[in-house]
């Protein structure tokens, strides 16, 4: 079932939106409105298991955050130190709750994969002094406008200023797939962050969007035109208004059901709000 048949825009429904929107929150609605309802409206709490891929990604992000926090303080972390820290954090945090779907790789294989991603990045970016680090896991809150204002929130892995109003938004990816340039050119997440950066830093002249595909040792870059940002703002605002007008939040079954924390219980929440 499509979403449009379930849309009713009423002032009552607008009151459902109290927390800022994020790219991932919008994506949950686009993938399955019922999952959105359970997570963000009904706030049904379930124990969410962490997969080994997400666990690995979190520790790689944590290592890079540490690397740049130290570099900002004038200290370059040595490779041996960085990898020892990664192993310690892994031993500290890894337990039986981390689930492994594919049995062709052991936890140790995943640790080696994390090390190898970091190694490739370390070699290419040493000594980590390009530009001034403005923020790490930098929180951005900003409003976007449509028929009314909506508050957005986002966290930038690393925000850098190269001087003279040139900013870079860096995002680390640890997945095993690399998108095409066409997909990167339409990416919503970093383009939304660009809107937030432009609203937060009055000296901005240029914003470069940079994705680091760590498993491939490659980066992809993109720029957005003012017209693209304007269109994105209008589209995002329209999507939020669609969410706020939603009544039934239909189930949208698909491959993602396999990973959904509400699988097996989502049919029970069928009454319109």
Residue ranges that bind ligand SF4, judged by CB under 6 A:
32, 34-35, 251-253, 256-257, 260, 262-263, 266
Residue placing its CB nearer to ligand SF4 in the complex, 172 or 262: 262
Residue 107 CA to residue 56 CA, distance in Å, equals 9
**Smallest gap from residue 142 Cβ to ligand SF4 (A):** 29
**Smallest gap from residue 183 Cβ to ligand SF4 (A):** 22
The H or E element that residue 168 is part of is strand 166-173
Residue placing its CB nearer to ligand SF4 in the complex, 107 or 250: 250
Report the alpha-carbon angle 245-247-250, nearest 5: 115
First-to-last C-alpha distance (Å) of the chain: 18
CA quadruple 258, 113, 77, 98: dihedral sign: positive
**Smallest gap from residue 154 Cβ to ligand SF4 (A):** 23
**Smallest gap from residue 247 Cβ to ligand SF4 (A):** 16
> Any long-range contacts for 153-159 (C-beta under 8 Å, 24+ apart)?
153/20, 153/21, 153/22, 154/22, 154/23, 154/189, 154/192, 154/193, 154/196, 156/193, 156/197, 157/61, 157/64, 157/65, 158/64, 158/65, 158/68, 158/133, 159/133, 159/134, 159/135, 159/197
**Smallest gap from residue 264 Cβ to ligand SF4 (A):** 7
Residue 135's φ and ψ, nearest 5 degrees, are -165, 150
Query: In the chain, how long is the greatest CA-to-CA distance?
Result: 59
**Smallest gap from residue 75 Cβ to ligand SF4 (A):** 45
Beta carbons within 8 Å of 165's beta carbon, 6+ residues apart: 203, 204, 205, 206
Residue placing its CB nearer to ligand SF4 in the complex, 202 or 264: 264
Residue placing its CB nearer to ligand SF4 in the complex, 28 or 209: 28
Residue placing its CB nearer to ligand SF4 in the complex, 129 or 270: 270
What count of other Cβ atoms lies within 10 Å of the Cβ of residue 92? 8
**Smallest gap from residue 29 Cβ to ligand SF4 (A):** 11
């Amino acid at each position: 079932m499509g979403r449009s048949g379930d849309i009713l825009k009423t002032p009552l429904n607008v009151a459902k939106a109290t927390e800022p929107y994020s790219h991932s929150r919008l994506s949950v609605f686009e993938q399955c409105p019922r999952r959105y309802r359970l997570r963000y409206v009904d706030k049904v709490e379930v124990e969410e298991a962490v997969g080994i891929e997400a666990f690995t990604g979190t520790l790689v992000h944590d290592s890079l955050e540490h690397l740049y926090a130290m570099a900002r303080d004038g200290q370059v972390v040595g490779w041996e130190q960085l990898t020892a820290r990664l192993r310690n954090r892994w031993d500290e945090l890894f337990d039986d709750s981390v689930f492994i779907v594919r049995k062709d790789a052991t936890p140790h294989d995943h640790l080696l994969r994390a090390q190898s991603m970091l190694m490739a990045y370390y070699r290419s970016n040493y000594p980590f002094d390009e530009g001034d680090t403005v923020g790490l896991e930098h929180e951005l809150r900003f409003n976007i406008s449509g028929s009314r204002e909506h508050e957005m929130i986002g966290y930038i892995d690393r925000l850098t200023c190269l001087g003279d109003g040139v900013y870079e938004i860096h995002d680390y990816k640890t997945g095993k797939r690399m998108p095409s340039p066409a997909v990167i050119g339409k990416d919503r997440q970093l383009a939304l962050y660009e809107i937030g950066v432009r609203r937060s830093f009055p000296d901005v002249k240029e914003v470069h969007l940079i994705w680091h595909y760590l498993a491939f040792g490659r980066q992809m870059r993109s720029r957005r035109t003012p017209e693209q940002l304007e269109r994105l703002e209008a589209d995002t605002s329209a999507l939020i208004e669609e969410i706020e007008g939603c009544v039934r939040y239909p189930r949208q079954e698909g491959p993602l059901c396999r990973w959904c924390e509400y699988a097996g219980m989502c049919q029970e929440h069928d009454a319109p709000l």
